[in-house]
Amino acid sequence: MPVFALEGTEGRLFKPLAFTKTYSMGFAALLAITFTPALAVLLIRGKIRGDKSPLNRWLVALYTPVVRFAVRFRWIVLGVSVLALAATAPVFLKLGNEFMPPLNEGSLLYMPTALPGMSITEAGKILQSMDRQLKQFPEVERVFGKIGRSTSPTDPAPLSMVETVISLKPMDEWREGLTWDGLIAEMDEKLRYPGMPNIWWMPIQTRTEMLATGIRSSLGIKVFGTELSEIEATAVRIERALQDDARTRPYTRSAFAERLTGGYFLDFDIDRDKIARYGLTVADVEDVIMAAVGA
């Protein structure tokens, strides 16, 4: 299943934060009507003398006229409530999909993606070049880049995927008039590598999005099918359409369709009869090949 990542100025996936907050509110409401009354029965002991409290008497005196008015003119109260609810409909329709805006983490995650087949040597050169260019920005404090798979089995990243964490200085030390979006635009303009479209995110936000959706950008298109070649061809056509179409080009910063059938492989066919003449086994030959290739 290819995942096609697009980063632009419009369109966002529904954030996992919205789902998390919805579930938290629902769980809190369930506790309020089940667990809380049970705790009140167990923990609240003795006589409750609320009527002798000056604060309680004041609150009751203030609330009683409101209740009497609502009961006496109930249809008016219900009508006003319905009208007030209907008045919020236009505002509700303009709300976004998130309960909270994205949190500014104070750092950036730079994730360009290349086509399959890049060698380790070339990948290292490109990563060092990117880090040097990023460090030239006066707003950048530190740069740490990784390309390929780490020692953790939970991060099977290919050599074609770069992950560079950019730690930024406090905004009061930035150039005058430079904004967050302006800095990203400058970095995006400077770091242009052929065949490697840029994706700019923040580290924690990226991990959350990738765990929830599997997409390395704020907007993505998933293509499903039965033939890998047809899926990849469809994804590539979508990528080109978003980059070349006049309707989407102004809103598209970068677009990349993951290739499923690319890559370069070297197969070794060991002649068992010939290596037996030298007293070698298949494992001995494979060890030498691994040492020579660097696998």
pLDDT in tens, 239-252: 888 877 778 777 77
In a domain, 213, yes or no: no
Using the 3D structure, point to which of 93, 115, 147 is the last residue of a domain: 93
How far apart CA 161 and CA 147 sit, in angstroms, is 6
Residue pLDDT, tens place only, 206-239: 777 777 777 777 777 888 888 888 888 888 888 8
Same structural domain for residues 125 and 182? yes
Total domains in the chain come to 2
Q: What is the largest CA-CA distance in the chain?
A: 106
How far apart CA 205 and CA 9 sit, in angstroms, is 17
Please give the average per-residue pLDDT across 53-58, as a whole number.
82
- Domain span at residue 111 reads 106-201
Using the 3D structure, point to which of 44, 68, 93 is the last residue of a domain: 93
The model's pTM is: 0.54
In a domain, 278, yes or no: no
Same structural domain for residues 67 and 110? no
Nearest to 255 by CA among 3, 1, 2, 7: 7
When mean pLDDT is compared across 28-32, 45-49, 58-62, the lowest value belongs to: 45-49
Same structural domain for residues 171 and 148? yes
Using the 3D structure, point to which of 179, 201, 223 is the last residue of a domain: 201
In a domain, 78, yes or no: yes
In a domain, 255, yes or no: no
Average model confidence (pLDDT) for the chain?
Answer: 80
Same structural domain for residues 121 and 182? yes
Question: Domain with 175 in it: what CATH number?
Answer: 3.30.70.1430
Same structural domain for residues 51 and 115? no
Same structural domain for residues 117 and 83? no
Same structural domain for residues 110 and 197? yes
Residue pLDDT, tens place only, 136-166: 999 999 999 888 776 666 666 777 788 889 9
In a domain, 38, yes or no: yes
In a domain, 240, yes or no: no
Structure confidence at residue 134 (pLDDT): 92
Residue pLDDT, tens place only, 180-203: 889 988 998 888 888 788 888 888
pLDDT of 47 > 80? The answer is: no
Query: Binning pLDDT at 50, 70 and 90, where does residue 1 land?
Result: very low
How far apart CA 134 and CA 144 sit, in angstroms, is 10
Residue pLDDT, tens place only, 68-112: 999 999 999 999 999 999 999 888 887 766 656 667 888 888 888
Residue pLDDT, tens place only, 162-182: 888 999 999 888 998 888 889
Same structural domain for residues 149 and 182? yes
DSSP class per residue in 107-125: EEEE--B--TT--HHHHHH
In a domain, 35, yes or no: yes
How many residues are listed for the chain in this entry? 295
In a domain, 112, yes or no: yes
Same structural domain for residues 62 and 142? no
Name every residue whose Cβ is closer than 8 Å to that of residue 279 and which is 6 or more positions away in sequence.
none
